[in-house]
């Protein structure tokens, strides 16, 4: 006569626990993505980049969402002048609270494009967050920004444009030499460098 294995109940119990854990993990992931819509204080963050900083979008999405906000990526622009020409036509949803402006080049126009962009946004209920990258237009030229404009200055975390490595921060997976690569040999920002920009922007927005 065949016998039922004596450990069948424990196997069934383990199977139920494993299934329950998987369900909890799925629910937790769904809540994480839906939280900006659930939380009453959450407001959307729109982001405009250029081609230099477009790879920062996944990092910005992660860091900003972890603070309970939704992120919407708008079409990239080549420079500030192009942005100034089109900022008045931006179609922003009513729940957009912040607009991250991560643009490095000035472009070709007669007026100060940064001032024009910020003036256009005044009174819209949208707070601009201006990213200032080392060696970018805003970093090298004397552009007058009002004190209330939120600026994400990242030079202290990225170093100069020729600096490839920077000392580790507390969030880095730090190698033995105590430095992480923030730029590649061609000068483009690494994931570690882009992550540093995202963390500064997210902390300013809160």
Range 17-25 average pLDDT: 49
Q: Which DSSP symbol is given to 189?
A: B
Tens digits of residue pLDDT in 137-180: 999 987 888 888 999 999 999 999 999 999 999 999 999 999 99
Q: What are the start-end ranges of the E strands in 52-119?
A: 71-73, 96-102
pTM of the model: 0.79
Tell which phi-psi region holds residue 43, choosing left (phi > 0), alpha (psi between -120 and 50) or beta: beta
Range 66-91 average pLDDT: 95
Kindly tell me if the per-residue pLDDT of 128 is higher than 50: yes
**Among 31-40, 91-100, 188-197, which is the least confidently predicted range?**
31-40
């Amino acid at each position: 006569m065949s016998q039922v294995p004596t450990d069948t109940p424990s196997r069934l119990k383990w199977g139920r626990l494993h299934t329950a854990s998987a369900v909890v993990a799925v629910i937790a992931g769904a809540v994480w993505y839906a939280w900006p819509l659930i939380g009453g204080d959450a407001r959307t963050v729109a982001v405009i980049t250029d081609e230099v900083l477009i790879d920062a979008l996944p990092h910005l999405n992660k860091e900003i969402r972890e603070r309970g906000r939704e992120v919407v990526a708008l079409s990239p622009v080549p420079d500030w002048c192009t942005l100034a020409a089109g900022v008045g036509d931006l179609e922003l949803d009513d729940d957009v609270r912040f607009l991250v402006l991560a643009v490095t080049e000035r472009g070709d126009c007669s007026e100060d494009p940064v001032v024009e962009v910020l003036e256009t946004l005044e009174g819209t209920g949208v707070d601009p967050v201006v990213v200032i990258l080392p060696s970018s237009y805003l970093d090298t030229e004397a552009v007058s920004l009002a004190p209330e404009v939120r600026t994400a200055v990242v030079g202290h975390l990225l170093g100069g444009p020729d600096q490839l490595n920077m000392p580790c921060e507390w969030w880095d997976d730090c190698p033995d030499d105590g430095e992480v690569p923030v730029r590649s040999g061609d000068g483009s920002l690494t994931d570690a460098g882009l992550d540093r920009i995202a963390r500064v922007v997210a902390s300013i927005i809160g």
